[in-house]
Amino acid sequence: MSRNIFAMIFAALMAAVTVLAVTWGFEFNWPDYVHVDYGFPLVWCAHTLNTIHGPVDVWRVDLALLAVDLAFWLCIMIMGLFVILHIKI
Q: 88 pLDDT band (50/70/90 cuts)? A: low
What is the structure's pLDDT at 10? Answer: 94
Q: Number of folded domains in the chain?
A: 1
Q: 1 pLDDT band (50/70/90 cuts)? A: confident
Range of the domain at 30: 3-86
Q: 3 pLDDT band (50/70/90 cuts)? A: confident
| Three-state DSSP string of the chain | CCHHHHHHHHHHHHHHHHHHHHHCEEEEEECCEEEEEECCCCCCEEEEEEECCEEEEEEEECHHHHHHHHHHHHHHHHHHHHHHHHCCC
pLDDT per position as a tens digit, 55-87: 999 999 999 999 999 999 999 999 999 999 898
pLDDT per position as a tens digit, 29-63: 988 899 999 999 999 999 999 999 989 999 999 99
